[in-house]
Amino acid sequence: MESLSDTLWDVVICGTGLQQSLLALSLSRSGKNILHIDPNEYYGGPDAAFSLQEAEAWVDRLADPSTANRGFRSASVTRPEGSTGLSFPRAYSIALSPQLIHSRSKLLSQLVSSRAYRQVEFLAVGSFFVFNPAPGPDQKPSLARIPSTREDIGFDTTIPLKGKRSLMKFLKFVQDYQSEASTEIWKPYADSPLTDFLQKHFKIDAQLQTYIIALTLSLDGKITTQDGLAILFRHLTSMGLFGLGFAAVYPKWGGISEIAQVACRAGAVGGAVYMLGTGIKTHESMGDELQLHLSNGETVKAKKLVRSSDSVGEPGISRLVAIVGSTLNGQFEALVEGAPQPAVSVIAFPSGSLHTSAGKVSEYPVHMTAHSSDTGECPVGQSILYLTTVATANSKELLKNALDAFLEAMDEDPRPQTLFELYYEQTKGAGESTKDGAIFNLPGPSLSPCFDDAVLDPVQEAWKEVLGEVDTEYMTFTDREGVTDEDEMYD
Amino acid sequence: MASDDDLPTIKVLLIGPSGAGKSALLTRYCDDEFDPESSAATIGIDFKIKRLVVRGKAYRLTLFDTAGQERFRTLSTSFYRGAHGVILVYDISSRASFLTMERWFDEAEANTAEGVALYLVGSKLDKAETGREVSSEEGQALAEAHGARFCEASAKTRANVRDVFVNVVDQVVQTPGLLSGRTRRAPGTVAVGSDEGGYGSGCSC
Ligand SMILES: Nc1nc2c(ncn2[C@@H]2O[C@H](COP(=O)(O)OP(=O)(O)OP(=O)(O)O)[C@@H](O)[C@H]2O)c(=O)[nH]1
Ligand SMILES: [Mg+2]
């Protein structure tokens, strides 16, 4: 084959995070010459999944300013003293940016139409819980399951009748919120907090408001009425789409990382050349072409370059990942008979439900997803907890406290042990894609605990940018067929 | 037309250093062709599908041929998922290729489930007289150390080529749980695609 530098690449894609990988998938049947590189030695960029060993190496690299990774900082690993039971490093797959995917998400329909879904196993995301702090000094904190269907609300024994009625009324409203009549009702509240709307229009009390806000998974808990209704609508209409009792799915073996890898593989099958551990040092324009000087010393020519924007460095979120030595019974129960066994549950710690040792109350919610060993992210008998909150001076302590409080609320004897903890902060990426001549910069990843369809649009823009005028349908392919021979018989 | 999708799928990967002869083995097996002049390294991944009948039962065999060249490496942890068999190939006329096999075994073992059929193949057996650099015993010993089966083969002369694939398939279908456990939906996984009862439409046939 020609050497890398002799080829004029139609596009060089830099980075193998979800967006770049989906771009590779979308171009995999285009016949274009594609060079896909990543400065990291692993696939997935900010969406990667790591074994324990890889996670520790990643933490070390982040600590070294010369190899520091854009987008992440303040990472540390702790193996709590005296804990035992951690399995071998490869038995774990820690997702750096775990996200639930709503059943209605465009990501799923694109994976289906592009046939890439066949290589991904999807698991059901089950219950959503709200954390209630201990009511008194000698009492334990608890978790309340959020009823999210009308039948659910009917059966709930903790919500007073009046609350049930207003909640039902609200859910019915959400289902129809885009109608003209409904829009008229919420429009005046569109940009004010959803809690205002709940309070004023539906007379929903503070406790039930926390349930509804929890379902939106809003990072700062201050979601507007307009955004909140859209998310709740997505949640309700996702319910039951792929089976009973769940509204979202999670890809086995590390979430989004798995999708990124499968998408890159589709790119490779389509003939794209892959090189890990290779970034772009500098580049210059030469007429219609770009000259890219790669970190491995080679120089390549390309018509287009697609990469991710620099992170804007604003404080984003704090994350804590904890491996615990318990199956966390009760977290992964199917909600209705005949429903698949969920592998993931969601726990929201509302604003104000946690405090630091100095008595400072949490300003933002903490969101946690609990993953069972069915996710393939930890061995049988253990679970992985992923906690997220807005990064503040206290966020690390608050995440630790949330973890402790959750384990306390599990009410297991002995209390589940934490075997491994990974803490890090992730900064915000640029909000929008930008174009600079032949260079297309994808925006940064979304930090939401829930996959945001908005990240898909810039990928399609980049696709158009590379292909120019096209009449092919985006991400719509038939199954690839290798050569299917006549039957061979072996007896 | 009954869709091939209904057949149990056996996923087999070919891995090993560049130039070992992976693509040549595959082309010989699937198309019964051999090109001595071929100097094209595989870029990314190629794959072939073969329908075959083993002990009276039909299977869909998907064979993934990967690039051995480091700079074209496209293997990822997810690539190995669901693999039933891995064929590790080195060139008996190249000591250097043999010496990299520990690393390939490590990678295969780290990323596949227990019970996967591992098969070590010393290729280019036709060069045994003139240019052998790795003895048959060494190959055998390495395979044994990893619980793999072993044979030497030649894509040029066809020697043992078919046996390699037949043996791998046979071992896969004979290993209890290896196939059934992966072709059926694992417990808890859900269907998001059309042919699984989800949305979308169409049949690829
Ligand atoms: N004499 C002889 N030559 C062979 C045999 N098999 C392969 N070759 C030659 O060895 C060279 C490399 O073979 P390939 O099959 O392309 O090697 P590969 O393992 O696919 O290499 P990568 O795609 O780079 O990973 C080619 O020139 C082949 O013609 C064989 O059995 N005998
Ligand atoms: Mg090859």
pLDDT at B168: 93
Find tokens 């710690």 and name the residue.
Answer: A349
The residue that leads in pLDDT, A74 or B196, is: A74
Amino acid present at A27 = L
* Residue A16: pLDDT over 90: yes
- CB atoms B48 and A483 under 8 Å: yes
pLDDT value at A295 more than 70? yes
Ligand 1 in reach of B155 Cβ (< 6 A): yes
- Answer whether A482 sits within 8 Å of B76, measured CB to CB: no
User: A487 pLDDT band (50/70/90 cuts)?
Assistant: low
Report how far residue A238's alpha carbon sits from residue A242's, in angstroms, rounded to the nearest whole number: 8
Peptide bond into A414 cis (omega under 30): yes
Length of chain A: 491
Question: How far is it, in rounded angstroms, from Cα A149 to Cα A147?
Answer: 6
Beta strands of chain B (E only): which ranges? 9-15, 45-54, 57-66, 85-91, 117-123, 149-152, 189-190
Residue whose structure tokens are 């992210």: A377
pLDDT, tens digit, for every residue of A234-259? 999 999 899 888 999 999 999 999 99
HSE-up of A142 (CA within 13 Å, CB side)?
Answer: 9
Q: Region A8-15: what's the mean pLDDT?
A: 96
Q: A20 to each of A35, A55, A263, A308, how far by Cα in Å? A: 12, 22, 9, 8
Give, in words, the CATH class of B4-174: alpha beta
Mean pLDDT of A301-323: 88
CA separation (Å) from A122 to A352, B30, B155?
Answer: 34, 33, 40
Does the structure show a pLDDT above 80 at B204?
no
Provide the pLDDT confidence category of residue B184 given band limits of 50, 70 and 90: very low
- Top pLDDT among A70 and A202 is at A202
Q: What is the pLDDT of residue B41?
A: 79
Q: What whole-number percentage of chain A has pLDDT above 90? A: 74
Choose which residue among B70, B124, B134 to substitute to test ligand 1 binding: the one with the highest number of ligand atoms within 8 A of its C-beta.
B124
Query: Is A246 in the B-facing interface, judged by CB distances under 8 Å?
Result: yes
What is the nearest CA distance from B129 to chain A, expressed in angstroms? Answer: 30
B196: pLDDT strictly greater than 60: no
- Ligand 1 atom 3 nearest Cα: B124
Task: Place B85 in a pLDDT band, splitting at 50, 70 and 90.
Answer: very high
For β-strands A289-294 and A72-78, DSSP reports them as unpaired
Name the H helices within B57-135: 95-99, 101-111, 128-131
> Quick one: which of B125, B147, B146, B148 has its CA closest to B135?
B125
Ranges of H-type helices in chain B = 22-31, 95-99, 101-111, 128-131, 136-145, 161-174, 180-183
* Euclidean distance between CA atoms A431 and A448, whole angstroms: 13
Tell me which of B72, B76, B168 to substitute to probe the interface with A (most A C-beta atoms closer than 10 Å): B76
Instruction: Please list, in sequence order, all residues whose beta carbon lies within 8 angstroms of the beta carbon of residue B143, skipping any fewer than 6 positions away.
Output: B118, B120, B149, B150
Mean pLDDT over each residue of chain B, to the nearest integer: 84
By CA distance, what is A372's nearest residue in B?
A: B188
The 10 Å Cβ neighbour count of residue A491 is 6
| % residues pLDDT > 70 (chain A) | 96
pTM, to two decimals? 0.89
Q: What is the mean pLDDT of residues A74-102?
A: 92
A206-225 pLDDT per residue, tens: 999 999 999 999 999 999 99
A109 touches chain B (CB under 8 A): yes
Give the number of the ligand closest to the Cα of residue B21.
1
Interface test with A, best of B78, B106, B112, B199 (most A CBs within 10 A): B78
The overall average pLDDT reported for chain A is 91
Pairing of strands B45-54, A488-490: parallel
Mean pLDDT, range A391-409, rounded to an integer: 96
C-alpha distances (whole Å) from B116 to each of B86, B168, B176 are: 7, 10, 11
Instruction: In whole angstroms, give the CA distance from residue A400 to residue A80.
Output: 12
* Residue in A482, A393, A36, A37 with CA at minimum distance from that of residue B9: A482
Which residues from B are below 8 Å from A268, CB to CB? 43-45, 74
Smallest Cα distance from A484 to chain B, Å: 5
Q: Is the pLDDT of residue B197 over 50?
A: no
Residue B199 has pLDDT above 80, yes or no: no
Q: In this predicted model, what pLDDT tens digit does every residue of B130-155 receive, in sequence order?
A: 999 999 999 999 999 999 999 999 99
User: Is B183's pLDDT higher than 50?
Assistant: no
Q: Which of A163-172, A186-195, A476-485, B52-61 is predicted least confidently?
A: A476-485
pLDDT greater than 90 at residue A89: no
pLDDT digits (tens, 9 = 90+) for A299-311: 999 999 999 887 6
Burial class (CB in 10 A: 0-12, 13-18, 19+), A81: exposed
Are A128 and A147 contacting, i.e. CB atoms less than 8 angstroms apart?
A: no
Nearest residue on chain A to B113, alpha-carbon basis: A91
Q: How far is the CA of A1 from the centre of ligand 2 (A)?
A: 12
Q: Give the whole-angstrom CA distance, residue A11 versus residue A218.
A: 36
A269 Cβ neighbours under 8 A, 6+ residues apart: A28, A480, B44, B45, B46, B47
pLDDT at A335: 79
Residues 270-299 of A with CB under 8 A from B: 270-276, 278, 296
Nearest-CB residue to B43 (from A1, A485, A490): A1
